Structure 1
Amino acid sequence: MTRTSLDAHQRAPHASVRLPAATVFPPALRGELFGPQGWSELTEVVDVLAECPDGHSLLAHPRRTEVEVLVTSWGAPRLTAEVLDELPRLHTVVHAAGSVRKLVSDAVWQRGIVVVSAADANNEPVAEYVYAQTVLALKDVHRRSRRITEQRALPPLEAVPGLDGSSVGLVSLGSVARKVAHRLHRINVEVRGWDPYQGEAIFRTAGVRKVADLRELFARSLVLSVHTPLLPGRTEKLITGDLLRRLPVGATFVNTARGAVVDEEALITVLVERPDLFAVLDVTVDEPPVPESPLYSLPNVMLTGHVAGTVGAERRAMGRLVTAELRRIAAGVDPEHVVTAELAPLLA
C-alpha cells in the first residue's frame, strides 16, 4: 500500500474520523469546483481545518501543522521543501486542476507525498473542443463563414472535404489525444498519430495509426491537432515552419496544448504564405498575444483564449473527481489518478 492508503487503512474502523485537510485556491474557485452540494460532500470526507486563498495564508494559519491532506487548484503555491517543513503531517495532495508541474517540487517526491490530479476530468472538455473544431474544419466552416460575410454570397460546396474518410493527425497521444481519437471514431475519419513515448499497444487500443515521423503526419493531415506537453529544452518550437508547410491544401491546424510548442513566428509566416491554411489557436506563446501580433489580423486565424479546458459548470467534474479520490483514500483504497515523478513532466 502507499503511505496514504496505509494511513487511511488504519483509520478505516473509525468511520467518523475525517481526514484533516486544508484547501488552497481563490474563494471564487470553491463555487466553480464544488458548489454547495459538492462542498457538503467534500466536507463529509475531510475536516477542512483551513480555507486558504493562497500560500501565504496557508503558511500563516495556526493549524497548518495538523494538515494531512492538501486540496489545491490554480493559484496554489509551489510545494518547496520550505513550504513542506510547515506541513509536517502532510501525506497527500489532491490537485483540482490539470498539470501539477508548477505545484510540485522534487521535495514532494523525496518525502513520499502522494499526488493526485484531476487532469482526467479537465481533459474531457479539451477533447470535446478538438472534436468540435475538427468537425467544423472538415465542413470548412471557419473559411466559409468569413467568405460569406465578406462576399455576401454562398461559396461553392465542391471544395468542402467532408467528414467520411478524411485524415486527422494527432501530435502526441496522451490522455487528451486518446479521448479525441475516441470521439473521432464516431465520424469515420482516419486518425493518425505520432508519439515517441507511446508503444504500439497504446496506438492500437486508441484506434490510431502510428506514423514514424512528424513530416509524414503533417503531410497527410487535413486537420492537425497538437497535444504535446511543453518540456523546456525538449519540445519548445517542436512544430516548425517546415512541418507547417507540409500541411495539405485547405488543412486546419489546431493547438490546445501550449503556445511555445509551436514556433509562432514561423506559424505566422506560413499562414501569410499559405492563405489556404487555417489555424485555430486556443493557446499562444504570450497570452494574450502582444498587441502588435499579426495573429489578431490574419484572416485565417481563430483565437479562442484558453476556452478548451474546463470553464464554468464544467469545473464541477474536477470537484467530483477530487471528492471521489478522497473517499478512496479515507477507505484505505489507492486513488485512481496518482501522478508519479516520472509522469508529472509529461502532463500538459
Structure 2
Amino acid sequence: MNKIAMLLNPAVRSRVFAAAALERMSRLANELAVPAEPLSPEGSAALIRGAEAAVTSWMSPQLNEELLDEAPDLKIVLHAAGSVKPVVSEALQARGIRVVSAASVLSRGVAETALGLTIVSLKNIWDIADRTRDGDWWNNRADETRSRIRELFGVTIGCIGAGQAGRRYLELLRHFRVDVLLYDPTVSAEQAVRLGARSVSLEELMAASDVVTVLAPEIPATYHMINERTLSAMKDDAILINLARGSLVDEQALRRRLSAAA
C-alpha cells in the first residue's frame, strides 16, 4: 500500500493508538501520514492526498466530495470508534469505498458499563455514598436509604435494543437469576429467547421492568422513544439507564416524571 492517512487530531490519536500500534501500522504502507497539529480543512486535504486508506475516529472530518477528490485511489476507511455517521457522506457511499469500524470491540465496554450501572443503581450506591460522606450511615435516614437496596436477583430487567452492545448486555445478564424483557422490532420472539430474553412491546417493558436499559440506535424511529407516555408507565422506583444517544430520551418529560415520583 502506498499511503495511509490518519485523519485524527493528536489528542484523540494518543488516546486511541499506542505507539506500538502506530509502528505496526507504519509497516503496512510506504507512508503513514500522521498530523502533528489539530486538523484543519487544509490539513485534512493534505493528509489524505494520494492515500489508499484513511483512519478516522472521534472528531475526524466528514469524508465529503472535496476531501475524496484528493484521494481518487482511496479503497477503505478504518473508523477507530463506534458509529460511522460523523465521517460517512453520500459521496463516500457513491464511490463504493469500504468502511469498517470498531463498534464490535467497543460494544463490550458499553455492555460492561450497562451491567455495572445496573448493579450499583439497584444497590442504591449513589445515595449510600452521599450518606456515608455526610456521616449519616447509622441514623434513621440511613435506614431508609438501606431499605431501597436491591440485588440483581429476582428482578425484571428491560433491555431496549439488541444491537451489538444490547446482545452483549443480554449475554452478561445470563449469569444472574433475573427476568429479562427485550424490545427490539427487528428481533423475533424466537431470536429473543435464544438471547435469553422475552420479546415484548415497549409499553409492557416500561411497565414491568425494575431496570430499563436503553441501548437502541439513534435513528428517526427512536427519537424521544422515552417520552411522557412511556415514562408514565414505569414504576415509581424503577431505574432508567441510557447508554444510547441523548436524543432517545425526552429530557423535559423525564424531569417531570422524576418530580412526580419524588
Q: With the length of structure 2 as denominator, give the TM-score of the two structures.
A: 0.89
- Secondary structure of the 1:192 match is strand
- 5+ long unaligned stretches in structure 1: 1-17, 276-348
Q: Which residue is 1:57 aligned to?
A: 43
Deviations along 1:190-248, one digit per CA (max 9) or x if unpaired, are 2111011223454233212111x21100111111011122224x322111122112222
Q: Which residue is 1:35 aligned to?
A: 18
Q: Which residue is 2:109 aligned to?
A: 125
The alignment's C-alpha RMSD in Å is 2.0
Distance, in Å, in 2 between the alignment partners of 1:29 and 1:159 is 41
Asked if residue 69 in structure 1 is aligned to residue 56 in structure 2, the reply is no
Assess, with a 3 A threshold, how the Cα gap between structure 1 residues 19 and 164 changes in structure 2: closer, same or farther.
farther
Assess, with a 3 A threshold, how the Cα gap between structure 1 residues 195 and 242 changes in structure 2: closer, same or farther.
same
Assess, with a 3 A threshold, how the Cα gap between structure 1 residues 49 and 142 changes in structure 2: closer, same or farther.
closer
Equivalent runs, 1:171-320 vs 2, <5 Å:
171-211=160-200, 213-232=201-220, 234-275=221-262
- 5+ long unaligned stretches in structure 2: none
Q: Which residue is 1:286 aligned to?
A: none
Corresponding letter in the other structure for 1:266: A
Distance, in Å, in 2 between the alignment partners of 1:45 and 1:202 is 40
Q: How far off its partner does 1:27 sit?
A: 0.9
Deviations along 1:105-148, one digit per CA (max 9) or x if unpaired, are 12212111000001122222211111001111222323444455
Q: How far off its partner does 1:37 sit?
A: 1.5
Equivalent runs, 1:130-145 vs 2, <5 Å:
130-145=114-129
Deviations along 1:9-44, one digit per CA (max 9) or x if unpaired, are xxxxxxxxx452110011122222121212112222
Corresponding letter in the other structure for 1:274: A
Corresponding letter in the other structure for 1:23: M
- Secondary structure of the 2:83 match is coil
Q: Which residue is 1:20 aligned to?
A: 3
Corresponding letter in the other structure for 1:98: G
Q: Which residue is 2:153 aligned to?
A: 164
Q: Is the contact made by 2:76 and 2:98 (CA closer than 8 Å) also made in structure 1?
A: yes
Corresponding letter in the other structure for 1:40: E
- Following TM superposition, where does structure 1 have runs of at least 4 consecutive aligned residues deviating by more than 6 angstroms? none
Q: How far off its partner does 1:159 sit?
A: 4.2
Assess, with a 3 A threshold, how the Cα gap between structure 1 residues 204 and 19 changes in structure 2: closer, same or farther.
farther
Q: Which residue is 1:107 aligned to?
A: 91
Q: Give the aligned length.
A: 254
Corresponding letter in the other structure for 2:28: V
Q: With the length of structure 1 as denominator, give the TM-score of the two structures.
A: 0.68
Distance, in Å, in 2 between the alignment partners of 1:178 and 1:117 is 18
